[in-house]
Amino acid sequence: MRKLIDQPQHQTSDSPLLKSSKHESAVRQVAGNARYVDDIPVPANIAYACVGITQVASGTLSALDLTAVKHAPGVIDVITIDDIPGHTDIGPVFEGDPILLDGEIKFHGQPVFAVLAGTEEQARYAATLATMDIAPASAILTVDQALAVNSTVRPPHAFGQGDAGAALEQAPVTAQGHLSIGGQEHLYLEGQVSLALPEEEDRVMIYTSSQHPSEVQKLVAEVLGVKLHKVTVDMRRMGGGFGGKESQAAQWACLAAVFAMRQRRAVKMRLPRALDMQVTGKRHPFENSYNIGFDSEGNMLGAEITVNGNCGNSPDLSDAIVDRAMFHVDNAYQLGATAITGNRLKTHMVSHTAFRGFGGPQGMIMAELMMDVIARRTGLDPLTVRMQNLYSEAKGLTTPYGMTLEQNILPELISQLANSSQYWQRREEVIAFNRHSPIIKKGLALTPVKFGISFTAKHLNQAGALIHLYTDGSIQVNHGGTEMGQGLHTKIGQIVAHEFGVELDNIEVTATRTDKVPNTSPTAASSGTDLNGKAAQNACLTLKARLAALFADTYQVSADAVTFANGYVSAGEHAVAFADVIQQAYMARISLSATGYYRTPKIFYDREKGSGRPFFYFANGAAVSEVSVDTLTGEYTVDAVDILHDVGTSLNPAIDRGQIEGGFIQGMGWVTTEDLRWDNNGKLISNNLATYKIPAVGDTPAHFNVALFDRPNNEDSIYHSKAVGEPPFMLAISVWCAIKDAVASLADYQQDPDIAVPATPERVLEAITALTENQDA
Amino acid sequence: MIEFLLNNERVSLEECDSGISVQQYLRQQHRLTGTKEGCAAGDCGACTIVLGEITTNDNAIAYRSVNSCITLVANLHGKQVLTVEHLAKGNQLHPVQQALVDHHGSQCGFCTPGIVMSMFSLYHTDIQPSREAVNKALSGNLCRCTGYRPIIDATTEVCENRQPDQFNAAEQQTLAILKEIRHKHVDVFANRVHLPDSRQAMAILLAANPSARLVGGSTDLALEATQQLKTLPVLISTQRMQDCRQITISDDTISVGAALPLSYIEAVLVEHFPALHELIERFASLPIRNQATLGGNVANASPIGDMPPVLLALNACIEADNGTTTRIIPASEFFTGYRQTQLIQGEWIKAIHFPRLSPNTHLRAYKVSKRHEDDISAVCAVFAVTIENDVITAIASGFGGVAATPVSCNELAIQLMGKSWQDEHVRKRGQHILMAAFNPIDDVRASASYRKQVLGNLWQRFWFETQSDLLVSTRVPHYA
């Protein structure tokens, strides 16, 4: 088929593409009538489900007395794993996630039974009334404990280039260290929620807040013991996902479905916040170590890096998450000879899961730690060390996993940002300020991001779309991606409007539904627009070819000369309004509906060899952060942030900026105040918003500059744009480095302060105390 | 029965079977599902609504944001309730809504209705809001998607270009209705919440319902229902007790009614004690301060409440009333144990009396927490040191987060009185005294050792900040 349009630079004047179109739901959101699952009008026979959970992290349930639960006010039904009609394991990739407790207790807060009652309050209250006889066992709650007994959810993986051991032996300077990296609660503002409606016989309809409707469909079918075609999942929008609704939205949909089919009534399951925080997985905590060699000029020669992911009690998505951590320990730097190992440790904790960056941040921060260590050891500025170790022709463009960088833009991007942010001038100002300020110390850091784009599970890199053209010229688009606020539907709408040359208000992107586009991938890995945008474009191309053929036939012109722009279909002197062409096509019995499909080219990874091209391309960016630290309390503020980020050709600059700013602030929360705490029994004690603090409005830096790096993607991505969901999250590593820089000033920048993530005020003060005590000694 | 305006519709309510909170009531009874539940604990702001109330001078409506998830339905009495659905005029968005659209201020949209309502409240109070004022207005609204920048821009711009809206146009009409409601007789709502409006009525109710609990803004009490799933006992609300809602300023005392929400008394406290500005602005969030009362915070006697340390350091007194007599209890004697006070059965707090500061007294109030805004103190420290001719003549202090009750440190006065304030030794000595003064606990917010170290260091900060000839930057930029 001929290629119609793939030239975003030559957009027509009224194409919405590359413009800052408003989020397609913005007006409804601000007016309060954007509908979320809990807002859907429900049938009169609705009932509500909740789960009862364990109060120990490890052991065996010997007896479960549900009498009080059953007799509580309003209770309709109570189920345990024995009542599940079909498959009882809902692990997304590997087995290991029983839908309800199956004898062995796997973590504190594990759902044991589910209860259905007339109101939400009744269900939640009844869920607290069970009596459990438990033989407790000792729990593995840390990475160290898990390593000691080789407790893993999956086998380790390793890769590298050259002989790292020899490189370290020969290196003039070596350094070793360890970093504790905390997890992160997703804190989507809309908690987990599903609504199940029984339909005829064994058919069921599910409304859910999920990034992965196809997986919900599959798991609901399996749990019910029916085939997939009996289950339909509808997902209009999520009130935030961030990875927390990729695999872990399914359990609640499955339980609601089981009750719905048992009781033949509508069932809603909505987790109250504290329960949501206890029963769903988080970003993986990691305990990582490095052993590096470099020369006295600060050039990396070799690195041995081990990343240890705390996966919790089951594999969930952890294999791919630890892989991605490993794929990012180099970040933007040529490390020399490398040996990278990734362990996937099993602990008695909730099963940690996807979260924006998907292990990437926990790997990438190691690269930035190593750069800081080299800077302090050599006396060079950290930016100097970073720039001279960047991937380059001279240093080599091959990553530790054997992929060659084809579009290496960071050297230029960082230079541009260093200039525009006046990094070097500010460095001098910071040093001067610190010299005269005994209590408040400033810190400055510029860190880059190079993030690989594609699912590392190759089969997920495919997408489908379905487009209907109606006889008034309006267009419905459905695709496999889900809308969680990131503006995916807006971008898809822009793509389709651009392809047909019509205005955006002709396009309606409808709820994601498993009965429209089947077997979809999760909306994850930043891939939503890359995959679904191409699929939607391909559906457009199919339809345009049909319309062009008709037009060519009608007006005796070449089909190749037919264009779609400004609301018209044109060729030569012939121009017909788009809606009229659709009507003509209808009358001429041309199909006005088409599917589109896309799979990402070029990618492969040989796990045996630890080598390949797991990523279609890299998205890049860099940030400069400036902070002030109070050395009496460890409190700090992020005063100024300048970001330059690479989104290729921006399909929607406003939405891309929103992803960059929002990702950065979320990353800032991860490295600063978001402090997950479990007690010695494995109970999450930061289990509400009073004890778990995400950034608030006052945490947004007073100076917050975001610019887009102007460079199309070299690869044939949708209009040469680049994915933007996850990469900006890691720009916030600059905040952590800037805090360390401020603290390092107390010891004349001779040592890299040891500050775990998140760098809470308490940890910062601890580092300050350690550094100043060392000095005194 | 209670009565209120839902937008411009007058509602009389005898009973409420949709749970205790306004959020549940609006969503279930009126299907106003724009008001979201994010946490049901007043911590996220997705449920923010605006309550219109007659101003103290009786001639206008003040629009204040509150968290509907922890507001009791009974508390709506005599007010105008506005939700996100009420702001647009037909298909025309309200300017605050349009500004949010224009600035790309919504992504997932779940926090958006609450943000809109907080913006609306600011729109009606401030036409040139500083960044600090914008932060304050939005301090109770969490957004996980945007990073806030577009929301801040939208708020600033729309307030600067404010045009009168339909609520301004209807203000006199609204005022007339609310005044009419105010004069109606109200005693009890849903057989559960009593709304007395006199000392006598309050005393009778307390005597007749010995297990009843007093409630002010319900920001703490409501959590027992929404988070701990407890059935609340009979409640007696202080909101209509006019003699608990007075502010009196005399030559030597600032007296503040216990039933007044914190945001209503902020101006008078900051006027007389400017050093309290930061602590008050960092007390929870604006929507919480629009509900939570000073009396509630004091009567709760929580060791991590931020106002008790202020009372201790300022040598304030608590005036307790039983309907017949009142008695004055010094703050230093009021807190008797973990969440225990001197109040006896049948008593309520009428007012708090703050003695004026002498011009020679240096006051500072510090709060240390993981997050600057809307967080609970790891340590709260309030110092008041009186210095005459460089000699320390009095030291008062109050601390939160370091013991089972709000506490003072008398050892400071014992060891340092009579010393020269400029003496370095005073800085070091005070630090050591405070580090040894208490035995705080490890908890989710901070370790015991951090609390001790910070306590000592806050004394050092205080010392640095009050040296007349030592100009050292002591604060990270927030509120400094």
Q: Taking residues A463-471, what's their average pLDDT?
A: 98
Task: Please check whether residues B265 and B337 belong to one and the same domain.
Answer: yes
pLDDT at A775: 63
Q: What is the pLDDT of residues A238-290, one digit of tens each?
A: 999 999 999 999 999 999 999 999 999 999 999 999 999 999 999 999 999 99
* Rounded Cα gap, residues A197 and B251, in angstroms: 69
Task: Please check whether residues A548 and A625 belong to one and the same domain.
Answer: no
What residues of chain A lie within 8 A of the CB of B138, using their CB? 697
Question: Whole-number mean pLDDT of chain B?
Answer: 96
pLDDT at A6: 44
* CB-based contact A439 B473, cutoff 8 Å: yes
* Rounded Cα gap, residues A14 and A365, in angstroms: 43
What residues of chain A lie within 8 A of the CB of B69, using their CB? none
**Domain extent for B274:** 242-355
Q: Which of B100, B372, B474 sits opposite A30 (nearest CB)?
A: B100
What residues of chain A lie within 8 A of the CB of B455, using their CB? none
- Give the DSSP per-residue string, A161-198: SS-HHHHHHH-SEEEEEEEEE--B----SS--EEEEEE
Cβ pairs bridging A and B (under 8 Å): 252
Of the candidates B212, B237, B262, which is a domain's last residue? Answer: B237
- Contact map slice: A 154-193 vs B, CB within 8 A: 186-191
ipTM for the complex shown: 0.97
Q: Taking residues B380-385, what's their average pLDDT?
A: 98
Closest alpha carbon to A186 in A459, A524, A515: A524
Is residue A319's pLDDT more than 70?
yes
Task: Please check whether residues B148 and B176 belong to one and the same domain.
Answer: no
Is A491 within the bounds of a domain?
yes
- Locus of tokens 């979260």: A355
* Rounded Cα gap, residues A676 and A760, in angstroms: 11
Is A272 within the bounds of a domain?
no
> Where residue B38 sits, what CATH number does that domain have?
3.10.20.30
Is A297 within the bounds of a domain?
no
Q: Of the listed A24, A726, A766, A773, which one is catalytic?
A: A726
Task: Please check whether residues A695 and A546 belong to one and the same domain.
Answer: no
Task: Please check whether residues A427 and A503 belong to one and the same domain.
Answer: no
Of the candidates B164, B189, B218, which is a domain's last residue? Answer: B164
A24 is catalytic: no
Is B255 within the bounds of a domain?
yes
A360-378 and A733-744 are packed helices; what angle lies between their axes, rounded to 10 degrees? 30
A48: contact with B, CB 8 A cutoff:
no
Task: Please check whether residues B191 and B108 belong to one and the same domain.
Answer: no
* CB-based contact B104 A20, cutoff 8 Å: yes
pLDDT at A587: 98
A278: contact with B, CB 8 A cutoff:
no
Q: What is the pLDDT of residues B390-410, one digit of tens each?
A: 999 999 999 999 999 999 999
Q: Residues 6 or more apart from B112 whose CB is under 8 A from it?
A: A29, A30, A34, B84, B100, B105, B106
> Where residue B109 sits, what CATH number does that domain have?
1.10.150.120
**Domain extent for A505:** 8-34+462-599
Task: Please check whether residues A508 and A640 belong to one and the same domain.
Answer: no
Preferred mutation among B226, B371, B462, B472 to probe A, highest tally of A CBs within 10 A:
B371
A112-123 burial, b at 16+ Cβ within 10 Å, e below that, comes to bbbbbbebbbbb
Of the candidates A566, A599, A632, which is a domain's last residue? Answer: A599
- Contact map slice: B 76-105 vs A, CB within 8 A: 83-85, 87-88, 93, 97-98, 100-102, 104
What residues of chain B lie within 8 A of the CB of A35, using their CB? 33
Helices (H), A177-263: 213-224, 250-263
Question: Whole-number mean pLDDT of chain A?
Answer: 97
Q: What is the pLDDT of residues B160-179, one digit of tens each?
A: 999 999 999 999 999 999 99
Distances (CA, A) of B30 to B11, B25, B27, B480: 11, 7, 6, 45
Is B475 within the bounds of a domain?
no
Torsion sign across C-alpha atoms B66, B68, B69, B71? positive
What residues of chain A lie within 8 A of the CB of B98, using their CB? 30
pLDDT at A13: 63
Total number of domains constituting chain A: 2
Is A359 within the bounds of a domain?
no
What residues of chain B lie within 8 A of the CB of A272, using their CB? 40
* Rounded Cα gap, residues B434 and B454, in angstroms: 9
- Contact map slice: B 202-261 vs A, CB within 8 A: 227, 229
* CB-based contact A31 B97, cutoff 8 Å: yes
Task: Please check whether residues B280 and B294 belong to one and the same domain.
Answer: yes
Task: Please check whether residues A511 and A593 belong to one and the same domain.
Answer: yes
Task: Please check whether residues A574 and A429 belong to one and the same domain.
Answer: no
* Rounded Cα gap, residues B60 and B181, in angstroms: 15
B306-338 burial, b at 16+ Cβ within 10 Å, e below that, comes to bbbbbbbbbbbbbbbbbbeeeeebebbebbeee
A633: contact with B, CB 8 A cutoff:
yes
Task: Please check whether residues B217 and B307 belong to one and the same domain.
Answer: no
* CB-based contact A31 B34, cutoff 8 Å: yes
Task: Please check whether residues A557 and A490 belong to one and the same domain.
Answer: yes
Of the candidates A599, A627, A649, which is a domain's last residue? Answer: A599
Helices (H), A61-137: 67-70, 120-126
- Contact map slice: B 110-149 vs A, CB within 8 A: 110-113, 116, 131, 134-135, 138-139, 141-149
Task: Please check whether residues A668 and A773 belong to one and the same domain.
Answer: yes
Q: Taking residues B237-264, what's their average pLDDT?
A: 97
Preferred mutation among B475, B476, B478, B479 to probe A, highest tally of A CBs within 10 A:
B476
Task: Please check whether residues B372 and B446 belong to one and the same domain.
Answer: yes
Task: Please check whether residues A635 and A727 belong to one and the same domain.
Answer: yes
Closest alpha carbon to A681 in A350, A348, A353, A351: A348
Q: What is the pLDDT of residues A683-737, one digit of tens each?
A: 999 999 999 999 999 999 999 999 999 999 999 999 999 999 999 999 999 999 9
Q: Residues 6 or more apart from B234 whose CB is under 8 A from it?
A: B192, B193, B194, B209, B211, B212, B213
Q: Taking residues A604-620, what's their average pLDDT?
A: 97
Task: Please check whether residues B257 and B317 belong to one and the same domain.
Answer: yes
pLDDT at A8: 44
Closest alpha carbon to A404 in A15, A714, A78: A714
Query: A235 pairs with which residues across the strands?
Result: A512
* CB-based contact B19 A685, cutoff 8 Å: no
Nearest C-alpha in A relative to B445: A691
pLDDT at A2: 39
> Where residue B430 sits, what CATH number does that domain have?
3.30.390.50
Task: Please check whether residues A581 and A697 belong to one and the same domain.
Answer: no
Q: Which of A163-167, A654-658, B125-129 has the lowest mean pLDDT?
A: B125-129
Is residue A743's pLDDT more than 50?
yes
* Rounded Cα gap, residues B284 and A690, in angstroms: 10
pLDDT at A3: 40
Measure CA of the first residue to CA of the last residue in chain A; give whole Å.
76
Is B478 within the bounds of a domain?
no
What residues of chain B lie within 8 A of the CB of A484, using their CB? 108
Is residue A4's pLDDT more than 50?
no
Of the candidates B214, B237, B260, which is a domain's last residue? Answer: B237
Is A488 within the bounds of a domain?
yes
* CB-based contact B108 A485, cutoff 8 Å: yes
Task: Please check whether residues A575 and A634 belong to one and the same domain.
Answer: no
* CB-based contact A762 B446, cutoff 8 Å: yes
Q: Which of B152, B378, B472 sits opposite A697 (nearest CB)?
A: B152
Q: Taking residues A537-560, what's their average pLDDT?
A: 98
Q: Taking residues A740-750, what's their average pLDDT?
A: 97
> Where residue A674 sits, what CATH number does that domain have?
3.30.365.10
Measure CA of the first residue to CA of the last residue in chain B; give whole Å.
48
* Rounded Cα gap, residues A656 and A495, in angstroms: 15
Banded pLDDT at B469 (limits 50, 70, 90): confident
Rg of the Cα atoms in chain A: 27
Closest alpha carbon to B409 in B377, B432, B390: B432
Query: A757 pairs with which residues across the strands?
Result: A181
Task: Please check whether residues B289 and B391 belong to one and the same domain.
Answer: no
pLDDT at B468: 81
Q: What is the pLDDT of residues A708-721, one digit of tens each?
A: 999 999 999 999 99
Is residue A524's pLDDT more than 90?
yes
Task: Please check whether residues B341 and B258 belong to one and the same domain.
Answer: yes
Total number of domains constituting chain B: 4
Secondary structure (3-state) at A430 = helix
Task: Please check whether residues B173 and B59 belong to one and the same domain.
Answer: yes
- Contact map slice: B 365-384 vs A, CB within 8 A: 368, 370-376, 378
Q: Looking at the complex, report in whole angstroms how far the Cα of residue A699 sits from the nearest Cα belonging to chain B.
A: 8
Q: What is the pLDDT of residues A140-152, one digit of tens each?
A: 999 999 999 999 9
Task: Please check whether residues B343 and B252 belong to one and the same domain.
Answer: yes
| Contact criterion met (CB below 8 Å) for A566 and A11 | no
Q: What is the pLDDT of residues A49-67, one digit of tens each?
A: 999 999 999 999 999 999 9
* Rounded Cα gap, residues A597 and A539, in angstroms: 7
Nearest C-alpha in B relative to A36: B110
* CB-based contact B36 A190, cutoff 8 Å: yes
Q: Taking residues B238-244, what's their average pLDDT?
A: 96
* CB-based contact B371 A696, cutoff 8 Å: yes
What residues of chain B lie within 8 A of the CB of A236, using their CB? none
> Where residue B307 sits, what CATH number does that domain have?
3.30.465.10
Q: Which of B37, B142, B450 sits opposite A762 (nearest CB)?
A: B450
Banded pLDDT at B374 (limits 50, 70, 90): very high
* Rounded Cα gap, residues A46 and A60, in angstroms: 34
Preferred mutation among B25, B141, B145 to probe A, highest tally of A CBs within 10 A:
B145
Task: Please check whether residues A536 and A646 belong to one and the same domain.
Answer: no
Q: Taking residues A528-534, what's their average pLDDT?
A: 98
Is B268 within the bounds of a domain?
yes
Task: Please check whether residues B340 and B200 belong to one and the same domain.
Answer: no
Q: Taking residues A547-554, what's their average pLDDT?
A: 98
A703: contact with B, CB 8 A cutoff:
no
